[in-house]
Structure 1
């Protein structure tokens, strides 16, 4: 590197002599400024404190002199080396110069030889300080990394309830709070886009870059973090606004609804477990407030007296009765009342998980009995809900997921029951179960004790397609899913959907989809395995 040199002397001929008597290029130096007095030097340093490495100054100058320059450099801790020039051996300045860490003295009569030696000494001191600075920065970086790793491990053990609670090496720093984020299923999410994931919460870190944060992912739907609050820069209101902005970014990025629960402010790291639990309670209070960001407040309720918590058997019987009586609009309200009562009851969370799985299983049991399996599977409802129950740590997350899929189920059920007669619903159920058998219009008509002509006319009238087309469409939809697996050969797929002759299967597949099974599989491969 080229060292930057500033020359200060009240005699222009001395400034010129310093510049021309020394081989600055050989010393790896360049002259960046020339000043006639100390005031000019100080003004330069005020405007550009890092713009120079070495100052060569006369000790005595009118107004501010060399000692004034050295004092300013010392008091402001500017990383620069000062060399004094003097016309005589006046060592009465030595004590003050040492106090301000002046690098060296050079007699003006010895500039050509003495100044290069002093500059080399200044360069060595600069290099030494730079090395010390680098070591200090490296040590601070390592310390920050160790602290972050320690806090991440501690937070993970607290959130997951595993491992020891190692507080010994942590000192209390600035105040902090714990925030837990959770995403729920979104009706607007595109199924093929993949699940929303909070396992790597880099979005949160980026959105909260103004805060010192330690974030960990807990599952694909949840993450939490410690947010340190610098009282000179941060306020409680500012944090809430930042969290609302963060929620907006998360929702845009993940295409899913997101919520946050915020603990109270804490000072001691030993309170981390309590802070985490507060963030979870705040997140559960979303059930009442529906706010995107909820701060911990144990007094939050829905303002109603909590009814007696019914048993899960009573709940399921009531929900099933609502379905049988064709009043499904009451189901979501009954479910919300039950969840509110359960939260207030203080019953263990794992019991709530088990109960919601039971509700989901019972209420959606007839999905396969109706002609709506394809849309249900497209939403990956079962897999998504079971994953939510397994990974969620809040009542609200499970309730929201169950509410979404029950709403989808009720909509499909309403469409199904509202447009088709009982006989056609039974026929569609029969096709969905027996598509892989040797079924035909005749076998189905015989099964339901009706004539082929009546069944054919009624089916086309209510569905808009022929019964044979419905059978073939069902077979081809299943075949398309089987063809996604490259291990399934075409003739094996044909047999799996009830067609023994591969040639006829290829003809039928091409007729329905517009491409042959082999061409369809190639299209899948080119699109990364996503269905057309």
Structure 2
């Protein structure tokens, strides 16, 4: 890299002499600017402070002189070396020049030999300062990395309740608050879609890039972080707005509902555990505020005026009665009231987890009995909810997941039993369970002791499709799921759904989906394994 040189002298012949008497290419330098006085140099530095490496200037010039240039460079800490040219051997300016760290003096009568030596000296000083700056930056980077690692370890031990709390090596810095984020399944997604991942919260780090943050993932649904507040740039209102923007980005990226709880502002790192607990309490306040971002408010969770908490047996009996009487609004309201009462009661969080698992068991028993979801979907729903209960650290996260499952269940229940007769519901359940057997209109009619003609007409009237189409649609639905596994060959998938002849299976699959099984699998691979 060529060093950039600026020449300043009020005599044009001297400027030309400097340019032509020195082999600048051999010195690995290039002249980038020529100035007739100090004002021009200072103007250049104001506009481009990093545009030059070495300034060669006459000491005495009309107006601003060489000392004015050196003073400006020193006061503004511009990383440039200054070399003075002088026609005087007494160096009457030496004391002031030393004060401003001038690199060297060169007599104008010795430009051809003295100036190259001074330039080499300036280059060596620049290289030395660059090396010192690199070491300083490396040390600062290492210090930041160590600080971040220490804070991440401390925050993880606080959030997970593991390990010692090592505060000794942390000094109190700028004010901070703790934020905990939690995502829940999207209302449009059935529980089988699985949890969105917050285990690596890089999205949040990027969204809050204007803040100094330390973020850690706690589970696939939750993460938390320390946000340091620079009072010269940040306000409480600005942080809340930034968190709302972050929530929007997270929801768009993960296709899930997201919420945040924010602690009070703290000054001492020893208060980190209290700040984290405040963020969790703030997140639970979603029950009352319904806001995406919730700031800690002790008045909401102070335990005063707590309603009587019913026992879990009473809750389950009430839910079961509401299920029998087909009162979905009553069921949802009952669950919300219980959760809100539980938070106010101050009962341990692990008891809440246990109780919600009991409620979920009651609901899923009804779903499984009525065959509203196939076995695979039910298994994925179970896994999703159990993961939520295991990993969530908030009442709200568990409640929200259960509420959405309950809403899905009620929707399925309404669709399942709303317009269909008892016979058709039984037929659908039979198809659901026996799609992989050699079933037909005749075998189903024989099973339910009705004629083929009556069953065919009734089924089409109530469902809008033929019974044979319903059987084939069920088989293709399962086949599409099996084709996602590359280990399953097409003829094996055909047999798994009750079709012995691979050619007929390919014909039927193409008729229903518009593409062959092999083409469908290729489309899956191109889309990263996601179903069409």
Distance change in 2, residues 1:227/1:464 (3 Å):
same
> Separation in 2 of the partners of 1:37 and 1:489?
84
Greater mean deviation of Cα atoms: 414-423 or 173-182: 414-423
SS at match of 1:266: coil
> Separation in 2 of the partners of 1:426 and 1:80?
88
- Structure 1 residue 336: deviation in Å? 0.2
Distance change in 2, residues 1:9/1:379 (3 Å):
farther
> Separation in 1 of the partners of 2:28 and 2:450?
103
Counterparts of 1:131-530 in structure 2, within 5 Å, are: 131-189=131-189, 195-300=195-300, 305-370=305-370, 372-374=372-374, 377=377, 380-436=380-436, 455-467=455-467, 469-488=469-488, 493=493, 496-497=496-497, 528-530=528-530
2:281–2:301 contact (8 Å) kept in structure 1: no
Greater mean deviation of Cα atoms: 502-511 or 390-399: 502-511
Distance change in 2, residues 1:338/1:143 (3 Å):
same
- Structure 1 residue 374: deviation in Å? 4.8
SS at match of 2:92: helix
1:460-482 deviations in whole A, cap 9, x for unaligned? 43334455554454445434434
- Which runs of 5 or more residues in structure 2 are unaligned? none
Q: Which residue of 2 aligns with 1:60?
A: 60
> Separation in 2 of the partners of 1:488 and 1:127?
64
> Separation in 2 of the partners of 1:135 and 1:265?
35
- Structure 1 residue 290: deviation in Å? 0.5
- Structure 1 residue 153: deviation in Å? 1.8
Distance change in 2, residues 1:124/1:441 (3 Å):
closer
Distance change in 2, residues 1:52/1:362 (3 Å):
same
> Separation in 2 of the partners of 1:29 and 1:159?
57
- Structure 1 residue 376: deviation in Å? 8.8
2:8–2:58 contact (8 Å) kept in structure 1: yes
Greater mean deviation of Cα atoms: 221-230 or 466-475: 466-475
> Separation in 2 of the partners of 1:26 and 1:508?
80
1:79-106 deviations in whole A, cap 9, x for unaligned? 1212222222214432222222121122
- Which runs of 5 or more residues in structure 1 are unaligned? none
1:398-417 deviations in whole A, cap 9, x for unaligned? 11111111111101101221
- Structure 1 residue 434: deviation in Å? 4.1
> Separation in 1 of the partners of 2:361 and 2:190?
24
SS at match of 1:369: helix
> Separation in 1 of the partners of 2:44 and 2:525?
66
2:191–2:385 contact (8 Å) kept in structure 1: no
1:371–1:416 contact (8 Å) kept in structure 2: no
Distance change in 2, residues 1:133/1:446 (3 Å):
same
Greater mean deviation of Cα atoms: 333-342 or 362-371: 362-371
Greater mean deviation of Cα atoms: 183-192 or 55-64: 183-192
RMSD: 3.1
SS at match of 1:109: helix
> Separation in 1 of the partners of 2:485 and 2:166?
48
Distance change in 2, residues 1:20/1:313 (3 Å):
same
> Separation in 2 of the partners of 1:526 and 1:97?
69
> Separation in 2 of the partners of 1:463 and 1:164?
62
1:288–1:302 contact (8 Å) kept in structure 2: no
SS at match of 1:469: helix
1:312-361 deviations in whole A, cap 9, x for unaligned? 11111110001112223210000000000111111111221121121112
Q: How many residues align?
A: 532
- Structure 1 residue 7: deviation in Å? 2.4
Distance change in 2, residues 1:527/1:99 (3 Å):
closer
1:198–1:223 contact (8 Å) kept in structure 2: yes
Q: Which residue of 2 aligns with 1:110?
A: 110
Greater mean deviation of Cα atoms: 177-186 or 22-31: 22-31
- Structure 1 residue 456: deviation in Å? 5.0
Greater mean deviation of Cα atoms: 221-230 or 31-40: 31-40
- Structure 1 residue 496: deviation in Å? 4.6
Greater mean deviation of Cα atoms: 279-288 or 375-384: 375-384
> Separation in 1 of the partners of 2:36 and 2:3?
21
- Structure 1 residue 381: deviation in Å? 2.9
Distance change in 2, residues 1:437/1:55 (3 Å):
closer
Distance change in 2, residues 1:195/1:152 (3 Å):
same
SS at match of 1:306: coil
1:370–1:428 contact (8 Å) kept in structure 2: no
1:358-397 deviations in whole A, cap 9, x for unaligned? 1112112122333532599299433322222222111111
Distance change in 2, residues 1:443/1:26 (3 Å):
closer
2:174–2:229 contact (8 Å) kept in structure 1: yes
- Structure 1 residue 180: deviation in Å? 1.0
